[in-house]
Structure formats: C-alpha cells, structure tokens
A = this chain, B = another copy of it.
Amino acid sequence: MITIELGRRLNQLKLNPAQVLVLGFAGLILIGATLLNLPMASQDGKSIGFVNALFTSASAVCVTGLVVVNTATHWTVFGKVVILILLQIGGLGFMTLATLVALLLGRRITLKERLIIQEELNQFTLSGLVKLTRYVIISTAMIEGLGALLLSTRFIPKYGFVKGVSFSIFHSISAFCNAGFDLTGESIVPFVDDVVVNLTIIFLVIVGGLGYTVYMDISQNRKFKKFSLHTKLVLIISALLLLVGFLVIFIVEYNNPATLGKLSFKGKILASAFQAMTPRTAGFNSIDTGAVTNTTAFLTIILMFIGGSPGSTAGGIKTTTVGAIVLAIISVIRGTDDVEVYRKRIPHDLVYRALAVVGIALALIIFVTMILSLTEKDASFLDIFFETTSAFGTVGLSRGLTPNLSVLGRLIITLTMFAGRVGPLTMAFAFAKKQKEYKGTYRYPEERILVG
C-alpha cells in the first residue's frame, strides 16, 4: 500500500523505473532500520544504534546475511520477525509484493507499475506478468512450506517443538530467499554432516537462485530440448559452477584439519557440496569460512561474484551474464561473427549489456576494496576483498570481518549490499542522464584501433 502510494507520488516526479526501484528499496531499508533501532528490538532493551540498525535492515532487505551482531542472541522476537519480514520482502522483490497487494485489493495495476516489476524481475515482456507474480507467490509459499517441513524433522528433536518449528520456518525462508540469516548463531555448522538439513537447504537455495522463469519453463516443458535458451544456459552454467566448486573444495580442503580434515568421508562430501552451493548466494556456511585455504577463499570470491541467475532471489552478476561473455569470447577465438549456442544466436546488445554489468561490478568491488583497505587497517587484504565481494553479491559469507568493521566500514558495506541488490546496470540507469530517445540515422565513420 505504502509503496504503491509512494509509486504514484513518484510518478508525478517523472522518475524512470530504475529510479523508482532504487528509491523504493532505499525506503524499505529505512523503515526496517527505524524498527530495528527501537529498544524493543534488542534483548538488552537498549537501541542498537542507527548505523547497526541500518546495516542489519539493508542486509535483510538485500537478502545478504552479513551481520554485525549475532541474530539469535541480540534480537528479541520482535526484532527477529522484522528481519524475517524484511528478507521475505527483499527476496520476493518488494514491487512484486506491491503487485500482490494491489491484486488482493482488486486495484488496477498501471503500465508504469508493471514496468517497474519488469525491471525488478528482469522479464522480457509485459504479457503474463500478473500471472507470473501470482505464480511467484504461490510457488514461494509451497516451496518454503516444504522446506520448513523437512527441516522440522531435525530441528524439533533437537530444539523442542516451539523453537524447532520457528527455527524450521525461519531457516526455510532464509534459505529460499538466499538470505543467509540464521538463528543458531553459527549458521549450519552444527549440522555439517546431517544429510536431511544439508540437502534441504541446498535444494532451497538452488531453487531460489534459479529464478521463477526457469522453473515455470521446466514445469511447463519438462524436456531439456524444449526449454528456452535462457533456461538451458541457467541450468548448464549452474551445474558447471557447482561441480567445479565441489571438486576444488573437496580436493583442496581434504586434509585441512580446520575444515574437512576432521570430518568423515560422508561429511567431507556433504560439506564440499554445501560450500560449493553457498556462494550462489546463500550465505550459510557449514565449515568455518575463515579457516579455508586461500585457494578455496579465492574460488569462493569468484563464485560469489558470479552468484545466481536473473529474476531470482540470488545476487551477483548472474550465471547468464558470465555465459554470454564466455560465448562471446569463444566466438572471437573461433572467428565467427555471431555469438552462437544451441543453434541460437545471442544478439550483440545482450553481450554489451553483460559486459556493462561485469565492468561496473568489477569497478565497484575494486573501488570499495581499496577504500576499506584504508578504513580497516588491521584486516588482511583477502578478508576485505572477500567481505566486499560477499556484500556486492548479497552472499553474506564473511571471514570474520563484519562485527569488527569500523563505523565508516559498516556504512560502506551497507551501500555495497544495496548497490549489489539493485544491480550495477539499474544503478547506472538510475543515476545516468536520460537515455537518448531520438535515434538519428547518421552514424559516425568507423575507425579501427589496436587492442590486446
């Protein structure tokens, strides 16, 4: 309601969809920060302070999961419910939720509002968008319900009925929304070799990170050959990244006493799979992120940078963005003019769009890492680089830096999470001057330069 009303007001300001999205997300974060800043949100009955409340709210809305305080012990039930609501809204995309509210109230959805949802979910066409939103809400509720049910078979015996049920619901939502918030105080570490908990969370995270269009496509078409090019690329690239991550972590950490070394063979397999899954961009961890070898840490940084798939709850530059770029590079090496895959041609403007996403994301991460290296003098470069990428990719993994961040560092990471969730291109469109609408027929003459 509030967001729709806000949207109408903003309409009058002639904002473009990207600007509405940025302002909407920012508004939601501020509302969350105000609530979490209340004394009743903290168990010690004192306000946590606005910077920390803002950090936590941004972390929840951006489904990141980086925390400056222990979620389980610091927040009251009120605080935890606020966080849960924020991450559920953030995970679904607040504009999608605004559509739902409008649907429920039978109000007309304006074309402009549809355009904003389109930008948010990153859809191709307007047709079927309302249908998709309905599908999103229903499937989310079903999958999260199933996840909670599975988790409760482990959590109720361990934590008792009331705590067990609420833990199951919280972690199922947090996993599906790729949010990474936990109530155990040490993420999934206590369940490192529990098959049910591991597989349930891996399932929730992966499904949440594939994107709604993908499982709509899968449920409608069933066969790989019939899937859209988008679905094919998402499935292939996601599988490849999981496989590479699993193999590298399994081999490199096999004898590391601080991580896999102490586990049984079954535990090693489960933990490797879990740690290969978590960078896209779950944020849960079943082994100590700060104790892995530098090789695994760097691989995790790369995987966090790539993240999940578009139109999903995951962050990062997205699997298909990497796919478009890799396919373009292959076309250069093979000497073909077109970027081709599965007997389809990916248009040039998409490759350029992918290039822009990667370029802006890289520039942002490099800039933030350089600034944080100044503000956090005691932290190691790897920890800062890791933290920055985790924030940008809305992953939520940390090598222990988050609670030790300076005030300035907390604000910078807050902004990085925000930029990462909104997305590099949307940020650029929001701040750029109005795009050229008039397309002249005159083209400048071509001139070649030397590159590489």
Residues of A within 8 A of B (CB): 122-124, 211, 213, 228-230, 233, 248, 252, 293-295, 297-299, 302, 309-311, 317-318, 320-321, 323-326, 328-329, 331-338, 340, 343-357, 359-360, 366, 369-371, 373-374, 380-382, 384, 423-425, 428-429, 432-433, 435-436, 439, 443-452
- Sample (18) of A-B pairs whose CB atoms are under 8 Å apart: A122-B450, A122-B452, A295-B374, A298-B366, A298-B370, A310-B451, A311-B450, A320-B449, A326-B359, A328-B352, A329-B356, A332-B353, A332-B355, A335-B436, A338-B444, A350-B451, A351-B352, A357-B451
Whole-angstrom CA separation of A288 from B229 in the bound complex? 52
Contacts of A357 in B (CB 8 A): 451-452
CB–CB B450/A381 < 8 A: no
Q: Is the interface of A mostly helix, strand, loop or mixed?
A: helix
Indicate if the CB atoms of B451 and A320 lie closer than 8 Å. yes
Closest to A384 in B: B294
Q: Please judge, given known A-B contacts A332-B425, A359-B326, whether A353 and B298 are in contact too, CB under 8 Å.
A: no
Chain B residues in 8 Å Cβ range of A331: 352
Are A229 and B449 neighbours in the complex by a CB distance under 8 Å?
yes
Chain B residues within 8 Å of A334, by CB: 432-433, 435-436
Report the separation of the CA atoms of residues A310 and B366 in the bound assembly, to the nearest whole angstrom.
24
* Minimum C-beta distance from A197 to chain B (A): 30
**Contacts A294-B384, A445-B345, A452-B423; A370 near B338 (Cβ below 8 A):** no
Contacts of A332 in B (CB 8 A): 352-353, 355-356, 425
CB distance B233 to A449 under 8 Å?
Answer: yes
Q: For residue A343, which residues in chain B have a CB less than 8 angstroms away from its CB?
A: 444-445
Q: Chain B contacts of A323 at CB under 8 A?
A: 449
Task: Name the B residues within 8 Å of A373 (CB-CB).
Answer: 293-295, 298
| Distance from A333 Cβ to chain B, minimum over Cβ atoms (Å) | 5
Other-chain residue from B351, B366, B449 in contact with A350 (beta carbon distance below 8 A): B449
Contact of A443 among B230, B338, B348, B374 (CB under 8 A): B338
Q: How far is the CB of A374 from chain B (nearest CB, A)?
A: 5
* Complex Cα gap A421–B429 (Å): 38
Docked complex Cα distance between A311 and B340 (Å): 31
Q: Tell whether, in the assembled complex, residue B435 and residue A335 are in contact, meaning their CB atoms are under 8 Å apart.
A: yes
- Which residues of B have CB within 8 Å of A299? 370
Bound complex: CA of A432 vs CA of B346, how far in Å? 22
Chain B residues contacting A293 (CB-CB under 8 Å) are 373-374
Interface contact B333-A428, CB-CB below 8 Å: yes
| Cβ contact of A380, chosen from B230, B344, B380, cutoff 8 A | B380
Residues on B with beta carbons closer than 8 Å to the beta carbon of A311: 450
Q: Among A318, A425, A448, find the residue whose CB has the most chain B CB atoms closer than 10 A.
A: A448
**Are A325 and B228 neighbours in the complex by a CB distance under 8 Å?**
no
Sorted from nearest, which 10 A-B pairs have the closest CB atoms? A335-B435, A357-B452, A310-B450, A332-B356, A294-B373, A381-B382, A344-B447, A230-B449, A295-B373, A229-B447
Contacts of A450 in B (CB 8 A): 122-124, 211, 213, 230, 309-311, 318, 320
Please tell me if the beta carbons of B436 and A336 are within 8 angstroms of each other in the complex.
Answer: yes
In the complex the two chains form, is A124's CB within 8 Å of B370's CB?
Answer: no
Select which of B248, B346, B429 is within 8 A of A449 by beta carbon.
B346
Q: Hey, which chain B residues are within 8 Å of A346, CB to CB? A: 446-449
Residues of B within 8 A of A338 (CB): 443-444
| Given A124-B448, A310-B451, A320-B449: A297 touches B355 (CB 8 Å cut-off) | no
- Complex contact A451–B370 (CB within 8 A): no
Residue on B with the closest CB to A231?
B449
Contacts known (A310-B452, A333-B429, A334-B435); A447 close to B228, Cβ less than 8 A: yes
Set of chain B residues within 8 Å of A336, measured between Cβ atoms? 436
Whether B356 pairs with A328 at a CB distance below 8 angstroms is yes
Q: How far is the CB of A389 from chain B (nearest CB, A)?
A: 13
